[in-house]
Structure formats: C-alpha cells, structure tokens
Structure 1
C-alpha cells in the first residue's frame, strides 16, 4: 500500500495539495478513533502487561544514551546532533506501528499496542525535545521547547489512548450511534495512513550526510528493537506478550521528527532523509523481526 501511495504521488493521482488536508484528517480523526476503539474495548487487567511496558520504556531510555554517544563519536555539527539522536529512537507508532500490529496481531493485539503506545509516545516525544536542546544556541529555543511540549500533551493519539484507558477501566458503554461513527472513522485510518506515507517519501536530499542517515536508520530499525528483544528475553517474557512492544520499537523514524527539527533549529533536511530511508527499509526489517518471533 505504501508503494501504491508512492506511485500515485509520482503519476499525479495523489496531488501535493491533497496530502496535507488528508494527513490532518488521518492524524486528528481516523487514527485517534481507531486507537480509542481498540483500547476502550480492551480489558486492562488482562491486556496491559506492566513488564512489557516497563521494558519498552527502558529500552528507549537506554537508546537515548546510545544515540547520544554515537552522535558525539561522529562529531556531528550542532544542528545535526540532536536531529540524529531523535531519528535513532523516535518511532512512527501512529502510522506504521499500529498498522503492523493490527494486520499481524489482530484487534486484541492492536488494543495491547495502543495501551503501550500511548505511554511510549509520551516518552519518545519528551526525549526528542531533550535531544534537540542538547546543542542548541537558538534564542527562541526555550519558547519552542515549551510549545512542542504542550503539543506533545495535546497529541490526538495520546489523548485517544488515555481516553480509551479511562473508558476501559470505568467500563463505560458508548451509544450505538457514537460507536458506529467511530467504527467508520477507524476503518479509514490504516489504508489512508499507508497511502499518505508512500506519497510523502522523498530521496532528493539523501545526498546530505548519507553515512549519518544510514547509521541512524540501522540504529532505529535493528539496534533499538534488538535492545528491547534482549531485555524481554532476559526477563523471561514470552514472545506473545512482548510482540506489541517490539513492533513499536521496530517502527521507522516518525514523520513528526521533521516538524520538531524544523521548529527547534535542528537539521530538517537530515530528518527528511532519515524518515524516508527508515520507512522504506522497515518493510524488510520489520518482516525479519516478525519472522524471528514465529
């Protein structure tokens, strides 16, 4: 579906002026509806694995340090330093992680992924803000930092996950008309999201620091989920239980990384290259991770 989106963009079936409003529709309505529906229907007592959640968040924290060390070892210039770091751990959970989870694990698996994903999104966004401020000398950075922090808290996917957890914990039943409206929006989410991911891919700026781009891509797609995998196994968690967390860790670099880099005086061109490279290569690496788990 991603490939179809890329082809459709190249031949003009998906024009540039369509992508931005369609992306807003998916981000603000369709994906939040899908996550809310799945999490609200879930049983927190049986579908929230505290161990998986703790290890998933721990893997992100560990990899924050690893990416910091890698950026320092590579002597990256100021604007690229924090952008490289966030591209190593900031995953595209909403468009890729949840889609893979739904198609590979089904509705129950998506519910588990949605619960873990809500906390993971908060963690990785906060770490991204910290990374982008490590080397900044931009006088407006403080204002932008607070703006992005507030945007993180207002992220519709995070709000949907939290609302779903509340509905599930309180056993709240929705009126049928509301439930069916959410179902219709939910069914729109994944196909539209995958088409838009394909339509947004670009490799025009790949020549800008290809070594750093490929390094961040390997770290995001192979090393980060590898750290999570080792921790899951070390603590004796079954593959069935940790798959939702592993899928989230194995997701490619988030598209919002570009927005954050641009807003916080990072290297926006590098972010675009890393997003495109990791998204394309994730088709291979995620398949390999899932096959290893079989």
Structure 2
C-alpha cells in the first residue's frame, strides 16, 4: 500500500475519535452543553453504557482464541514498569510536592474511553473484546498504583493509609467495568447467547458510549489551566504520550507480540491521561491544577502522537 494511502487509512482510524473530542469543545463553547450535562452523561457512561458495551463485546467473544494470560500479564508488568520509570524520573527532576500527581499523570491512561474507542476504530468488535479483557488489568493496576504514589507524597493530615486502602478496595470491588468483565466471562465460556431482542436493545444502549464519552472529554478540556505548572505538566505529558508508548510497545514487539494484540496494547499505552486521575488527586490532597494541566495537554497531544504511532507501526508491518 502506498504511504499516502496508508497514512489516510490511519487517519480514518484516529480522526473520528479526536473529532468527537473537539466537537465536545465546540459544544461547550457554544453553550449547547454545560457542566451539569457533562456530569450526568459521565455517570451514565461509567455506570451504564460502557459496562454494557464491554459485557456485550465479551459475551460474543471466542475466549479460546482471545483470552491470552501472557498478554494480560505482560500488560500488567509493562504498566508497573512505566510507573516505576516515571517515579524514578520524578524523584530526580520534580519537586517533592508535585511528584505524586506527576507520576500518576505520566502512567495512567484513559484506556476505558479513548483506548477502547481507538481499538474499536482499528479492529471493530474484536478490538473491543480484547480491550475489555485488558480493562480488568487496567482498572486494578491503575487504581492501586495511583493510591501508592499519591499516599507516599500526600500532604499531612489527610487520614490514615489503612482507610485509603480500604476505600480504594471498595471502589475496585464495586467498579462497574470490573463487574461487567466478571459477569460476561463465565457466559462467554459456556457460550450462552442472549435473546435477539435483548441483544439488540443492549446494542442500542451501548452505542451511546463512545460518542457521549468523547464529547464529555472535550467539554471538560480547559486551555486556561495550562497557564499554571506548565513545565511539570509538559514533562509528564511527554512521558505519557511519547516515552512510555515507545518503550512499552518496543518491548512488547521484542518479546513476540504483533498484529491485533500489539496494536491494542499500543493504543492503550498511548491513551491520554485519564480524567479519573483528577478525581483521585483531589480526593487525596494532591495538586489538582497540575493534574488538570496534564489531562488537557495529553488529550490535545493525542491526536498527533497516536496517529503518528499507528502510522509508523503500520509502515513497519507489525500491526
């Protein structure tokens, strides 16, 4: 395939996702949607439509060909490695009071929305199924490691670490995305099919997920926030959008992953910082302004870095 055609086909994958994000920016500026809409829609996505999308994708999956324990283990180890690398860099270059949110912003990606949307755009339902399996690992590792780093650099007087761990364990145990994976996996193993009317209704409901979530991401972006702590935000954003995706994807290819598995892992590694990082930083006394900066900057960078990464991997013929 000629390079021009390959590049245009890459844009066909990434541009629809980021176009929806920038539509969200425009709708917020026009006043057609407000913060109340964003809050309500975000709750609907997190508690309803996204779990439904993951459940329906997994229940129709052939787990014998999709479930790869080595893939899940590698992704968990790669996430841990990216966390430790970001922490090491922050300990050397970042002021102590910013280290917790810096590290969280540098390793915690928005896999549940942006990563899953990109996987769907590249591989269709097969990409969503594989991404849904990875989300179980994502939710556990991201939440646990975020608590670790934010607790270590937490300002004094914010409650006991035991209470923090108990709280995060409760959140993980009640997380709708984890519950959807746990609920769908046994049904996929025994190959149970839903009634046609239920599957169709579920598809209608699940189809709201990606456009609604991406619009909400765009509506929450604020370039004004970038005026503060810009240097630290830029450093964390470069790690998140350039350094970690290159290192993790290169190692994944080196150990033998390719094709759909390598592609989905790259999209997850290259996803911009998750909005949940802001909520956790604020709840644990971290620098929420720096966290907002990182989220905004990585989201703006993603349209370029993800497109370039997919294009290069497709040129190399590994995905």
TM-score range, shorter chain: over 0.9
Partners of 1:173 and 1:186 in 2: how far apart?
17
TM-score (norm 2): 0.88
Deviation at 1:105, TM superposition (A): 1.2
- String of CA shifts for 1:52-84, please: whole Å, max 9, x gaps: 222221111111111111111124233x21111
Specify the SS of the correspondent of 2:178: helix
> Residue in 2 aligned with 1:115?
133
Distance 1:149 1:76, change over 3 A: farther
Specify the SS of the correspondent of 1:236: coil
> Residue in 2 aligned with 1:93?
111
Q: Does 2:121 match 1:103?
A: yes
- Give yes or no for contact 2:59–2:188 (8 Å, CA) kept in 1: yes
Distance 1:75 1:188, change over 3 A: closer
Q: Does 2:200 match 1:180?
A: yes
- String of CA shifts for 1:21-52, please: whole Å, max 9, x gaps: 11111111111111111111111110123332
Say which of 245, 261, 273 aligns to 1:253: 273
Deviation at 1:162, TM superposition (A): 2.2
Map 1:127-206 onto structure 2 (within 5 A). Answer: 127-136=145-154, 137-142=156-161, 143-206=163-226
Partners of 1:280 and 1:110 in 2: how far apart?
24
Unpaired runs of at least 5, structure 2: 1-19, 315-319
Greater shift, 93-102 or 157-166, is seen at 157-166
- Give yes or no for contact 1:144–1:263 (8 Å, CA) kept in 2: no
- String of CA shifts for 1:93-148, please: whole Å, max 9, x gaps: 11101011101111111111111122122111111111111122334143244223
Partners of 1:95 and 1:141 in 2: how far apart?
32
Partners of 1:139 and 1:206 in 2: how far apart?
27
Partners of 1:129 and 1:144 in 2: how far apart?
8
> Residue in 1 aligned with 2:64?
45
Which aligned runs of 4 or more in structure 1 are off by greater than 4 angstroms? none
Partners of 2:67 and 2:152 in 1: how far apart?
34
- Give yes or no for contact 2:72–2:134 (8 Å, CA) kept in 1: yes
Map 1:14-29 onto structure 2 (within 5 A). Answer: 14-29=33-48
Specify the SS of the correspondent of 1:205: helix
**Matched length:** 293
Partners of 1:169 and 1:76 in 2: how far apart?
49
TM-score (norm 1): 0.95
- Give yes or no for contact 2:228–2:290 (8 Å, CA) kept in 1: yes
- Give yes or no for contact 1:91–1:253 (8 Å, CA) kept in 2: yes
Distance 1:146 1:204, change over 3 A: farther
Partners of 1:166 and 1:110 in 2: how far apart?
18
- String of CA shifts for 1:220-278, please: whole Å, max 9, x gaps: 11122112212112212223332111211111100000000011111111111111110
Unpaired runs of at least 5, structure 1: none
Specify the SS of the correspondent of 2:256: coil
- Give yes or no for contact 1:55–1:231 (8 Å, CA) kept in 2: no
